[in-house]
Amino acid sequence: MAPTLRDGDVVLARPGRRPRPGDVALVRWSARPGQLSVKRLALPDGGSWFALGDAALASTDSRTLGPAEALAVVTHRLWPHPGRIVRR
């Protein structure tokens, strides 16, 4: 998710918040049920989302794994540089 987020960032993820296109979200892939990822939501796909990484050439996302389930919307980075995560 660079440049928005980097490995080791601590974020606040809000379950129950209604996801919208452009939000950064904690997602789960049916192709990899044990893996959680943080990706940007692009397009709703029924009850799932087409989710993409911000670094398209370095991201494993819906282009490879198919639709994702959005579990929570990531709203803030808490550490190391606190701030709001901006929707695109």
| pLDDT value for 31 | 93
Contact 23, 87 (CB under 8 A): yes
Nearest Cα residue to 80 out of 8, 16, 1: 8
Under CATH, which architecture does the 10-82 domain have? Ribbon (2.10)
pLDDT of residue 56: 86
Per-residue pLDDT at 80: 96
- What residues are paired with 37 via a beta bridge? 27
pLDDT at 63: 96
pLDDT tens digits, one per residue of 31-75 = 999 999 999 999 999 999 999 999 989 999 999 999 999 999 999
Domain boundaries in the chain? 10-82
What does the DSSP 8-state code read for residue 85?
Answer: P
